[in-house]
Every structure is written in structure tokens, then in C-alpha cells.
Amino acid sequence: MGIKSTSKAIMSEAGVPIIKGYHGSDQSLAKLKHEAEQIGFPVMIKAVRGGGGKGMRIAFSASEFESQLESAKREALKSFGDEAMLLEKFVQEPRHVEVQIFGDHHGNYVHLFERDCSVQRRHQKVIEEAPAPGISESLRNELGQAAVRAAHAVGYVGAGTVEFILDRHTHAFHFMEMNTRLQVEHPITEMVTNTDLVEWQLKVAGGEKLPLTQDEINLRGHAFEARIYAESPNDGFLPGAGPLDYLVAPNPGPDVRVETGVRQGDEVSVHYDPMIAKLVVWGEDRKDALMKMRTNLADYNIVGLNTNVDFLLELCNHGEFVAGNVHTNFIEQHKTELGYVDGDHKRIYKAALAVILNEQLQAEEVAISAKESYNPFVLESGFRVNHLLVRDFNFACGGQNMTAQITYRRPNNFSMKVNNGQQVYKVAGSLNKTETGLELTCRVDNVVVKSRVVITPTDVHVFTKHESYELLIPHFHLPMKFKKMKLGGSGIIGDSALSPLPGIVEKVCVKIGDSVKAGDPLVIVIAMKMEHTIRAPKDGIVEKINYNAGENVTKNAVLVKFAD
């Protein structure tokens, strides 16, 4: 069942519906091209031993089939040691619904209902829920019975997941693959069935019968799982690596699980998957569970590298997601609404206030340690009573430069203007040290908001119940080369193309002297077991290539230099 081509043949014989495609052993380019044309584009190219979205590509036309096939083969060989491929008709906007099954050595089989894993990027799941929204009881039974037939057909023992492609409009479903293991998202099934599937695995492995029969397994409430990744959603979900300088996770409880392998001070490595943690919540119904997911995502605060936490918050607040109208192209369809949203001016107010109050805290600590009297009105880096009591802050947030002009009124109370505007806001607050860092209480025109704050030598991070954001602090400026870069593209400094992430060069696609057009592939970089094609950011002639296949590159390394 771990070999996709073999499993599809078995499922077809067992009466489980399968999707149109080619699962044969002839892997010649001519044969695969012919079969793709017979299936009809767009075509999904998948590694027969694949998983986790690796070794998967979509060819939308015959002209790109060969390049997508080569890319899928390279990634499959790296990940699974096998470059054999199968082809399937690509369904444009399906739902990805999977069923948890279990079998024992005594011929007993059960299913533990379904999970919806439709919300994905790069063919990898981002958020999952159980049960699937909008599924009727009759369809739920059909899916469960089909999954049990699949397990029975191969005499399966242990935990497994049967995955289906479900037409979001007609609800017709087809077998996609079976994962012969316990999956990342199994906790949501445990939450809604009140079971411990790891305990079940141990009992079955020890020769015992399944702990429950099908009639004894009941659905209970609703559960979500969000995958916390080190990645940049605004840069095409580029995976990241780096230190976890600050990490505060939600408090676990009966209805909240935080499953992770890292803690504050650890480093996310370029050599492994960039998942930091799984956040799992349970509620009495879908609405209740979604509210808990939002609350706990807001409590997940990380500094040191980019994460998808804010993106997940945006996702959980999106009207179509709230309504349960999910499909595998959901993120791409709604990318504009799910992208970076420039917030109101209260962002810069909170950051500026935090910096000022933190300076006062530090000055007070120095004064106390020196056994000197502390005067909050005289700060070397702040305000002085005999001066104009005005200070300018220059921040950068979300790629935009912002300026705040701050006037002292009385202790911890200020007037602020943003970007030289005419409107004046009254801002006051306090900053206190807690077990998890600094807590800012900020009042802007009598509206009070509490936030966690982390201040580093270069920036200030503000975490609220609705979002988190990073602002570069005054007098600190990033070099131009650290501009945002899109997935599948490259950055550019003058006449050079950069690697948008650290990794290993898999292939150099050009030679010195080649003439290239914007968008042409230059270098293929492998990072976190995923393949990334760095493309020419402009037309030009290749003058210098700085790296060969097999060499390590750092983020923003100059890969290719163009002639002037």
C-alpha cells in the first residue's frame, strides 16, 4: 500500500473507486508523455513511493510536462530513493478527505471517521479538521466503508489512513493513496472519538483485539489541528531556518494539545522539515473549536525566524473558511485576502511606546543598582524636561517605512502623530516584566490593549490577541539586499541573482555566456528536502556562476552574476 501504483490496482479490484490515470511500470519519457496526453491536461505527476507533498508536480500543458516530470523525479529520488512516477487526472478544486482505519491480527477492521485536510500549500497540509464540514451521514458511512474495504483487501494490521479526492460539488470520491502509519494529524481523530491511537497500536502489535467495535466508536464534537511552520507566507511560503530566540506556546489542557520537539533557544535546521509544532484544539461544535483555535494561535509567540502563525490566524478568520467552504486550491484562490494586511497606526504607537518605556525600565534598574536616585524625566536616550520633549521614530513594518513623532505630556503619557499627519492621538501605558517577558498595556484614545512585547537590538515584536508583527527599531536599517523574494524566483542586487533561502545546489541550469530571459531557470536549490527553482529576475547574459552542484549556499548568497 506504500507504493501508489500497486495500491491503486488493488483498490480497483476491491471495488474502491479510483481516479483516472497511469500506474504502469513503463517509465520511459515517450510512454509517460503519451499517457499524459491520453489522460488530458492538467495532469498530476506523483512519485509512486511519495508522501508529504514531495515528488509531486502539476503539468498544466504538454509544453511543461517534461520539465515538471524531471523536477518530480529529482525530488523523489532524494526523498525516497525511487524516481518511478504515476500520472493522474488533476482535479482543479477537490477536497482532500481521509479516513482513519485500524485492523488487528484477528481480522477485525474499523474506521474512526474522516478528517478534512483540504487547506494546503505546496501539496502539504496546513490545517486539518475532524469531522469534515458539510459531509452528510450517508456520505460519511460510504467513505468509512470504502476505507475499511481498502484495509480488508490487503489484510492490513495496525493504524492506517485511506485518502480520498472528493469533488466539492458532487461529493463523488476516488481513492488517492493509503498511508500505512499513524499520521501527523491523528490527534484530531483522537479528540473527536475519545481514543488513544498510540495505545491501540501497542495493543494490536501485542496480539490483542481492537479495543472497540465499529458500533462503539462515536463522534464527539469537533477538532482542528494547525501546523506551526518556520516559513514566510508572504514570500510564497519559503521554508526558513534559524534560532528560536523567544518562544511562548499556549497552555495545554483537556481541549488543547501542543505537540512539539523544540523549545526556546533551539534552532530550526535547514536539514529537516520546518514544522515547529502542532496545535490541536477541541470544541463542542465547529464554531466553538474554531474560536479556541484563534485564541490559542494568538498565544503562540515566536521571535527569531518567520512563522506562519499570523497567516493561520488570517485563515481562521476568513469568511469562506469559517463557512467550511474548503478545497485544495483554497489558499491560492484567496491569497490576496490571506496576505499581509497593513494594520492601523496603533501598530507603530505600541512599538514606539514599548521602546520608550523599556528605556525607562532599563534606566531605573541602572539607577537602583548604583544606589542613585532615579529621575524618569532625564534619560540620556529619551526626553528631557528643559527641551522640546519631542522625539521621532523611524520604523519599517511589512515592507513599509513609517515615522512617528512623539511628544511628552506627563509620565507615561504622550501625544503621537504618524507619517507627518495632522491627527494627534493620545497614547499612554505601562510596561511590566512577567515570566514570559515584557507585557505592554497601551491606551490609545481611551481604548486599552494588552500585548506581549519582545525588544531586541534591531527590532521590536508586538503580540496581540489578533496578530503579531515586527518593526525595525529607530536608527536600524536593513541592507537593500534583504528585500522580500518570491517562491520560485530570486532576489536581485544590481546585476546579481540571489538564493532566497539556505540549502544545497542540486543543479546549475545555465553556463557562462548564456543569454537568459526573465523567468528562465538558473539554479535548483534543495532546502528542507524540497526543491526550489531560482529563476532569472531579468533578461541578461550570464557572466559568472559562483556555485556548483553539491555546494552549500546561504540565504542571499549570490548565485549568478549578469554582465552589465
Entry field: residues in the chain? 564
The answer to whether 357 touches 412, Cβ cutoff 8 Å, is yes
Task: Name every residue whose Cβ is closer than 8 Å to that of residue 215 and which is 6 or more positions away in sequence.
Answer: none
The answer to whether 304 touches 242, Cβ cutoff 8 Å, is yes
Please report which residue ranges of 14-88 form alpha helices under DSSP H: 29-39, 65-80
Among 537, 511, 535, residue whose Cα is nearest residue 523: 535
Task: Name every residue whose Cβ is closer than 8 Å to that of residue 530 and which is 6 or more positions away in sequence.
Answer: 54, 75, 122, 239
Among 72, 2, 78, 1, residue whose Cα is nearest residue 32: 72
- d(CA 473, CA 25) in angstroms, rounded, equals 59
Helices 137-153 and 4-13, packing angle to 10 deg = 110
Among 17, 51, 46, residue whose Cα is nearest residue 181: 51
- d(CA 525, CA 509) in angstroms, rounded, equals 11
What are the E-state strand segments in 202-296? 222-229, 231-232, 238-239, 242-243, 246-248, 256-260, 267-268, 275-283
The answer to whether 212 touches 194, Cβ cutoff 8 Å, is no
Give residue for cell 519519457. 29
57 is catalytic: no
Tell me the backbone φ, ψ of residue 169, rounded to 5 degrees. Answer: -100, -45
Catalytic entry in 122, 149, 181, 443: 181
- d(CA 127, CA 313) in angstroms, rounded, equals 11
Among 188, 305, 150, residue whose Cα is nearest residue 240: 305
Query: Which helix (H) or strand (E) is 397 found in, with range?
Result: strand 390-397
Whole-angstrom CA distances from 190 to 96, 109, 175, 197, 258 are 19, 17, 23, 7, 14
The answer to whether 200 touches 189, Cβ cutoff 8 Å, is no
The answer to whether 53 touches 275, Cβ cutoff 8 Å, is no
The answer to whether 402 touches 348, Cβ cutoff 8 Å, is yes
At residue 380's C-alpha, the angle toward residues 378 and 383, to 5°, is 50
Among 17, 79, 14, residue whose Cα is nearest residue 46: 79
Cβ neighbours, 10 Å, residue 490? 24
- Name the residues annotated as catalytic: 181
